[in-house]
Homo-oligomer: A and B are copies of this chain.
């Protein structure tokens, strides 16, 4: 079978090359649906992408042409029918129907402007701004063409997307990693007193035609402009391939040196050490039972005691070890702890939705040592230019429980910036929930309940059609995605539920339980419903309708 190759010369006379993109379902593109688009200049390949073009696009992708302004380019399309290449348009205007105002775009959770997003990457804080990066396919609705999306926020709630930080190249797709500010210029790469900022990433060799024959390595890109643009380091790779598909470097300062956690394979991780962020020595291998990929490393004071700082080595699916650094060794002090998202994932085969957050990462360098974590929530809206959202940022603490040290989580207090209508009552009956006036209800809500717990008596409410049940007999919280032991509960159960268009987050027992559930809810169902509570039990309620995070700032690029 001959593969059709079409070519077309264009002049970058507009800012954008617009791509009519077919809808896609699932993690990988369906076989036979992909074409390869190459951008050439003087016969040299500048960019290459896998696309699924369509005359009836789900949405129009935007390939930024500014860097070629006014220049001639040759487009080569391999596969698909000849007319497909003619569908592409050079323009100064995008074809978005109502960017950031789409009916399925979450109101209170970060979503990419366009494309398929997955793992959070490179999270750091610098001079009043939180920087968020994430795996992104700007040119499709399943995985591929992996760029690093980049967004900034002063409050972790209102985000502004910036130009992509990393684009795929001949070393492969830009797989996951972490970011760190080299405050003391240990690398010597700082310019003019400005501390250099490092994004550690994984060039995923052999995952594209362009990178055929190359292996997974660890590489770095450096910003000398305060985190606005990143240049890939000429000395890459900084760590060679150590295992078939080693990946996902996350770098932190231990207090004595830099430490980089990477994934090797199975549940095997390694920590490497460096004094200058550029030269790394291999350290111990560690196993996080049940985890894979996307390590994180962060420090937390146990029970808030600065004399008892512990380190957490985290794996993608809500599994972690608590331990400490002893020189250039990580010493686990617990077995692998497995959180609710882990347990949900291990019982999950759905390729289109995530039962809980995945590949969570914390911000390095956040003020006052706070540890703020964001996760990927995999969810496929039926329409619109994006797929997936981020979890609401949560603040982590480490507490002593009867099972040992455990992470607790609560939504960051900054979510209050979105509160636009608040309703409260204390010590009322279950039926009071029916009487909440409708102007307090909405698609996005932050709802805190406090229930008196009576032995053997269920507590059951539903929020936007999602039933939530607490069973004191077994100490379990029952959710549509599973039943979770939330630890010993005293005389009162606190339950916090954050709803939005594509997710429901549930926190219970002072944050010992926390989970982000992918859920596309009926937009017409904004109900809170009492379901069951023993007569005579009082409830405290605090309900905040959440506004639209996108309404305050005009997003970049729109």
Contacts and interface: CB of A to CB of B under 8 A. Distances in A.
Given A520-B524, A522-B519, A525-B353, A467 B479 contact: yes
Nearest to A526: B350
A88 interface: no
Given A482-B529, A483-B460, A349 B438 contact: yes
Contact of A474 (B353, B467, B530, B532): B532
A42 interface: no
A471 interface: yes
A467 B531 CA distance: 12
Interface string A455-473: 0101010100111110101
A496 B113 CA distance: 42
Contacts of A212: none
Given A469-B467, A479-B467, A520-B522, A382 B103 contact: yes
A434 interface: yes
A351 B145 CA distance: 45
Interface string A519-554: 111111111011110000000000000000000000
A456 to B, nearest CB: 7
A198 B530 CA distance: 44
A469 B466 contact: no
Contact of A481 (B478, B479, B483, B529): B529
Contact of A460 (B438, B469, B527, B531): B469
A352 interface: yes
Contact of A467 (B431, B434, B478, B530): B478
A380 interface: yes
A310 interface: no
A480 interface: yes
Q: How many copies does the complex hold?
A: 2
A25 B438 CA distance: 15
A326 to B, nearest CB: 41
Contacts of A520: 522, 524-525
A156 to B, nearest CB: 27
A379 to B, nearest CB: 8
Given A522-B519, A524-B352, A471 B483 contact: no
A522 to B, nearest CB: 4
Contact of A479 (B352, B522, B527, B531): B531
A324 interface: no
A466 B478 contact: no
Contacts of A462: 480-481
Nearest to A482: B531
10 contacts: A350-B526, A462-B480, A462-B481, A465-B519, A467-B467, A469-B469, A476-B532, A478-B531, A479-B531, A483-B531
A458 B471 contact: yes
Nearest to A522: B520
A1 interface: no
A347 interface: yes
Contacts of A431: 347
Given A458-B474, A467-B469, A480 B524 contact: no
A473 B460 contact: no
A503 to B, nearest CB: 11
A347 B466 CA distance: 17
Given A350-B526, A458-B478, A469-B469, 12 more contacts: A347-B530, A349-B438, A352-B524, A352-B525, A353-B525, A380-B524, A456-B456, A458-B473, A465-B519, A466-B480, A467-B480, A469-B478
A469 B520 CA distance: 21
A28 to B, nearest CB: 15
A529 B353 CA distance: 13
Interface centre among A438, A465, A531 (most CB of B within 10 A): A465
